[in-house]
Structure 1
């Protein structure tokens, strides 16, 4: 392997690149064009991300439910808390609005106050019929007042379905077509049809309409993700270009770097389209991530080129040295970063696997693009002038390097004490970290649709469906009175849980049939006795053809029933408490030998998926540590060096985890990436430092102190520059409206800052303190590959600084 990565190999690569410049330009153009043709295959996710594998028992249970009853997240709610709605003009307008919405193919049916039906008993022949409560299409004020009183006091069947039990709020329920609810048609309907009609109604009649329900939330949430992709890319380009220009003071160098990362972004979108992956809240981060990681590559390459020009003024020689000397170093740092992301591929989560595949491929792609584009473009340009090289003589950075050297030389005990205190505080903070399986927690809090969610939580006790599937193990078993009573008992228990809404099931219709039998008296809204059931049954035979409630809550065989309740936006801990309360009650009410009952639904699925992701995080982080430790073992051939090099990289991760605990930032799908991303990137600094340190040991005849200080001064500036770029680059994510993305950006930025300080203060301190056991010829054998050639000095101090 030593021969493969030898200087001769990279020299051959340099000749190949510089002698085939036209071919390389054409190849990059062709690949970019071909990948751009794949953009059309990019798909935005129209459902919540499936966080668990398909064969997971929780997924199997949910899919079994979908087979019986179809998509349960197909309900959009329109709510109004305004008594003015019950005036003739506005009530008629509301009726027109709901009628208009019914005409769209995306809407299956609507339950609205204007179209409500009442169950009535007829004698000849004996039957129940659902008849309109309001017979007139244009009711007058007195008719509406009578209707309002009847709705709120005489029709408990519609409680929490049409009217709120807490106030005079009413809602219309739009049931979307189950075949279209998870397609692009839903997005078009919500954004281009529903929203404009609602806004027109609000403006014309001065009534605030609240809109919610999972299809609506998912649509606006995915639209926010789409909008933020372009925002992130633009912000990342602006921030990194400003920092780059500040370092180099060269418009030409800045434009070349921006061109390189822009092509990298185009490739990233092309890879997503080529692999037919959906754009989720995770894959949406990849294009700006490529910009942030790609700019340090450009800094290393361009800075080395300018240093070589300053030293001897020979352009061809400078370009050749850029490739041979910086190529190897940037290859290894990009490989370690890509490895950190690639560990996600080994998890069982499709969401993380897709993110890992696209991220690792494109990190290596941006390295290749940087190595090809920068030397080729510079080969066609004039040699940089003196004003382009002024940044190489900056003295202000020398103060930072001097401070680091002074701390390592004179204050190692303070560094160790600070590290131990940070570690102790972090461990305390880690114990306070909570896991969040909330679907809504990451959603933008300042948007109207999030405020509407909170409105429906107050008025109707929740919008996220929690389903209970009851298998009676025999056809028509649901309609047996014993089963209905068991279901009713469970529903009463659910109704007493504050975070859950009043359940919907077939028991409502059965109770309503008894009320109808007793001429609509609301005090008879209850399950019939066995004797009453015999009287009522002849009237109820035609109910199945009267409405959709029967088919919505019982399957065609009558063996399976569903109980639907809606949950408030509770965290994982509360959800687990509710589940722990429900399961014993279910087991008590429904004997296992006669019934099979399963909890499922979107809310439960997401909560279970988050817990599953946390376990995958631990696995992927462990794999990343092992993989990168293996790389370092191969490079440095020293077990002791592996241990000592992991310390300054693991400490920042523990500090970040502690910060999450103290700041109340939960572990969730969006923040779950922090550790693997930060570890994969921060270990680059360690590789640079140790490679330079080993080189200095050989150059200084194994004099340890001199080698440590020389390595610190030589690599300190490069670490500082790249860490600043990465810090501000990841800070771009903090402009997001998604709480999880904000936390991701802030935490990764903070972790990389801690990692830089740990690699520049703690790592050299450990090397000096353990010099007799660590830094000797037996321990530090000849590495399997040279990361930095003998005179490598990319992004290092100029000669003036070295004299300080």
Structure 2
């Protein structure tokens, strides 16, 4: 160790300059820093889900549709509201990337005059609006789709072209143009407009994540700097930890860019993980240096002692973190594997910088550089804590055991679930838009049921179409959240009614007659309003579109499973559920389950590593308790409160485990060093005096840093911050109170 310190001392300036140059060179790659918000990155390239969805897009030109809605308390059938719809329809159609716009005004109204079929725009001018109102409020193809049942809310659907919908940049552009247009019309008309739809979700995910990266991340760094200043009131107290954190962050991001990865709404949290890892390493080293310098030790010797007492635990924590999170790196889900690679490389880079750059910076200081132990840390320089733990160990363990039993009971109610709309805070455009549409007109979530008739022209089979009607009735009976459904079947029923002057709509019993109806109807439609978005070119597949209220992913998957089972068990047909809402449901479940599996693997690997290091099984069992218990306790509370485990909570478990493991390793490292020559009570005092301050300070700084993310409009980030902060403080309490009490009982039993 002395020769290593001598090497650092001789080359301290070279090391600082060399590392700084390396960071600068690597950081050049950050000019290519990009962001990817496409849903495809969340699936394996050979995913059947993606292949089925691509087939759906090829057959029906996709489902990328923005929705714009507004309400007129007096009813929309007045000149002001109708003119607004007419004008907006025209304005929206001009936006690049938009394929068609569907609204009340250009709804293709079917009627018969002198035995001729007429299909025309429902409203072309502002005349006879009351007559139009009486027709519309009885038309089941309009109600709960383009207008509300009370006639006070109107909805305009803005469909993107098939090629545009897969590009998140187009989604963002169209979203921006829609906001510009409706903002202008809000000033002109006084109406409040609401925007929703799956492209709006995609666009919002990207813009909010970019906002968090550009604003909250720097704010988090500033929070770290401010906390360091408030604690140390010393220039080096800010510089050393901050340099390690920032350099680690820049190198990790640069490596990600060099490997061809882009940021997404998952990996945008990489700086949070890097901050946690880097500050934990550098803080233990720096506080040890401060402690020895406050004892009037010469600077070089203080650096030597700081490294001597912390090199092994820092190396151990970095190794366990790197190996543990490497399990994420083998995931087939790109963002998760990216995160695993980032954390693994971050742990190793933070280790290297903490034992090279950080001591090199400290060695640049002269012996006359004055260092004072921060006031709040002097409170931890206590005696008698170990004796207190020894006397009260049974009571402490009993209290915590009771706490575990009571809180752990809530685990029975914990659910792994999520909700793509509720991922956004209530005041965001997409959330407020979805809430308004659900409350005022129809379900904002859209599911696309693709039914395979197994034969060419099969959609014209009367028996099949009647089965579609039965399916819709039973579906809505089983799932009340489904508010509306629409398909080509509805048009066929309308044609039968209009052309035969029947009051009740029904399916014709003649296949040839249905074919004639569809041919006549298709020839009557204007360009751009064809039926190729309802059936495929071979007329084998039928598309049934469902509009549902917002519901959790578990309900989405339950409904999807029910639909597919219904069709597989009811005749020769089959069906699958497509659309981006279904994609989100598959995606959320896949991500969360994968994270939970990876975290479990991480814990197993860490336990094995600790067994190899400590070589004492009983000690490893003691090691597990303060690391797993915080996650269990927080999960139990979530079960009581009915809060589901979503992506944010699952990510937080990784951070909690990483920091808790670091603290416990430092505790055991100091304890094993002290117990060789000291009593149990003295050893606990030694641990508190030499590691307790770093553990407390690390937890305090990380808590303040993570709380910054409660300002995010992305709810998983908020959940991540809250759960992580609570659990980290629980972990600290367990390490400083429960762990020594367990050790006391363990030693008492083995005497």
TM-score clears 0.5: yes
Find 1:436's aligned residue among 393, 397, 417. 417
Cα shift at 1:445: 1.7
* Alignment partner, residue 606 of structure 2: 628
* Alignment partner, residue 397 of structure 1: 380
Name whichever of 528-537 and 457-466 sits farther off: 528-537
1:74-133 superposed Cα distances (whole Å, 9 cap, x missing partner): 11111122146544355334423321221222101111233333335578xx97453233
Find 2:204's aligned residue among 220, 223, 228. 220
CA distance in 2, matches of 1:145, 1:544: 25
Contact 1:229 1:284 (C-alpha < 8 Å) held by counterparts: yes
Please give the secondary structure, in 1, of the residue aligned with 2:164: coil
CA distance in 2, matches of 1:413, 1:300: 30
Find 2:157's aligned residue among 170, 173, 176. 173
* 1:492 pairs with 2:492: no
Find 2:329's aligned residue among 324, 345, 364. 345
CA distance in 1, matches of 2:426, 2:324: 32
Distance 1:109 1:191, change over 3 A: closer
* Alignment partner, residue 4 of structure 1: none
Find 1:681's aligned residue among 645, 659, 662. 659
* Alignment partner, residue 68 of structure 1: 59
Cα shift at 1:555: 1.0
Cα shift at 1:623: 1.5
Cα shift at 1:159: 3.1
Distance 1:268 1:537, change over 3 A: closer
Cα shift at 1:197: 0.9
* 1:265 pairs with 2:245: no
Cα shift at 1:544: 7.7
* Alignment partner, residue 469 of structure 1: 450
Contact 1:121 1:539 (C-alpha < 8 Å) held by counterparts: no
Name whichever of 555-564 and 126-135 sits farther off: 126-135
* Alignment partner, residue 99 of structure 1: 90
* Alignment partner, residue 177 of structure 2: 193
Cα shift at 1:557: 1.3
CA distance in 2, matches of 1:317, 1:537: 90
* Alignment partner, residue 110 of structure 1: 101
Contact 1:78 1:172 (C-alpha < 8 Å) held by counterparts: yes
CA distance in 2, matches of 1:398, 1:17: 30
Distance 1:67 1:517, change over 3 A: same
* 1:152 pairs with 2:133: no
Find 1:335's aligned residue among 313, 319, 327. 319
Find 2:508's aligned residue among 522, 528, 535. 528
Find 1:130's aligned residue among 116, 119, 125. 119
Contact 1:264 1:362 (C-alpha < 8 Å) held by counterparts: yes
CA distance in 1, matches of 2:377, 2:748: 36
CA distance in 2, matches of 1:585, 1:610: 24
Contact 1:501 1:566 (C-alpha < 8 Å) held by counterparts: yes
* Alignment partner, residue 514 of structure 1: 496
Find 1:602's aligned residue among 561, 575, 580. 580
1:665-706 superposed Cα distances (whole Å, 9 cap, x missing partner): 211122112223212221122212222222223234xx5554
CA distance in 1, matches of 2:25, 2:557: 48
Find 1:765's aligned residue among 738, 741, 746. 741
Contact 2:419 2:551 (C-alpha < 8 Å) held by counterparts: yes
Find 1:294's aligned residue among 269, 278, 282. 278
Contact 1:120 1:516 (C-alpha < 8 Å) held by counterparts: yes
CA distance in 2, matches of 1:167, 1:96: 19
* Alignment partner, residue 778 of structure 1: none
Distance 1:498 1:526, change over 3 A: same
Contact 1:461 1:499 (C-alpha < 8 Å) held by counterparts: no
Contact 2:564 2:574 (C-alpha < 8 Å) held by counterparts: no
Contact 2:596 2:650 (C-alpha < 8 Å) held by counterparts: no
CA distance in 2, matches of 1:116, 1:723: 60
CA distance in 2, matches of 1:534, 1:311: 95
CA distance in 2, matches of 1:767, 1:150: 80
1:472-491 superposed Cα distances (whole Å, 9 cap, x missing partner): 11111112222222122212
Cα shift at 1:587: 3.7
CA distance in 2, matches of 1:393, 1:743: 30
1:533-612 → structure 2 map (5 Å cutoff): 533=514, 536=517, 539-540=520-521, 542=523, 548-579=529-560, 581-589=562-570, 591=571, 594-612=572-590
* 1:664 pairs with 2:646: no
Contact 2:248 2:274 (C-alpha < 8 Å) held by counterparts: yes
Please give the secondary structure, in 2, of the residue aligned with 1:752: helix
Distance 1:194 1:129, change over 3 A: same
* 1:244 pairs with 2:228: yes
CA distance in 2, matches of 1:583, 1:745: 38
Name whichever of 102-111 and 37-46 sits farther off: 37-46
Distance 1:774 1:478, change over 3 A: farther
Please give the secondary structure, in 1, of the residue aligned with 2:483: coil
* 1:750 pairs with 2:723: no
CA distance in 1, matches of 2:700, 2:376: 19
Unaligned runs of 5+ residues in structure 1 are 1-6, 776-804
Distance 1:566 1:75, change over 3 A: same
Cα shift at 1:67: 4.1
Cα shift at 1:200: 0.4
Cα RMSD (Å) of the superposition?
A: 3.1
* 1:716 pairs with 2:692: yes
CA distance in 1, matches of 2:494, 2:218: 58
* Alignment partner, residue 28 of structure 1: 19
Contact 1:478 1:558 (C-alpha < 8 Å) held by counterparts: yes
CA distance in 2, matches of 1:289, 1:15: 33
1:500-532 superposed Cα distances (whole Å, 9 cap, x missing partner): 13112111221232244246x7x3443223286
Cα shift at 1:453: 0.4
CA distance in 1, matches of 2:342, 2:738: 34
1:361-401 superposed Cα distances (whole Å, 9 cap, x missing partner): 22322333343433333444444643x324279533346x7
Find 1:641's aligned residue among 609, 619, 625. 619
Contact 2:567 2:574 (C-alpha < 8 Å) held by counterparts: no
Contact 1:244 1:299 (C-alpha < 8 Å) held by counterparts: no
Relative to the length of structure 1, the TM-score reads 0.85
Distance 1:431 1:394, change over 3 A: closer
CA distance in 2, matches of 1:695, 1:534: 87
1:541-598 superposed Cα distances (whole Å, 9 cap, x missing partner): 6368865452001111111122111222112443355346545543454x1xx22222
* Alignment partner, residue 702 of structure 2: 726
Unaligned runs of 5+ residues in structure 2 are none
Please give the secondary structure, in 1, of the residue aligned with 2:532: helix
CA distance in 2, matches of 1:119, 1:167: 20
Cα shift at 1:646: 1.4
CA distance in 2, matches of 1:64, 1:558: 15
Contact 1:685 1:719 (C-alpha < 8 Å) held by counterparts: yes
CA distance in 2, matches of 1:242, 1:234: 12
Cα shift at 1:213: 0.8
Please give the secondary structure, in 2, of the residue aligned with 1:158: coil
CA distance in 2, matches of 1:481, 1:508: 13
1:595-649 superposed Cα distances (whole Å, 9 cap, x missing partner): 2222333333333444444443442232222211222122222222212221222
Relative to the length of structure 2, the TM-score reads 0.91
CA distance in 1, matches of 2:259, 2:117: 55
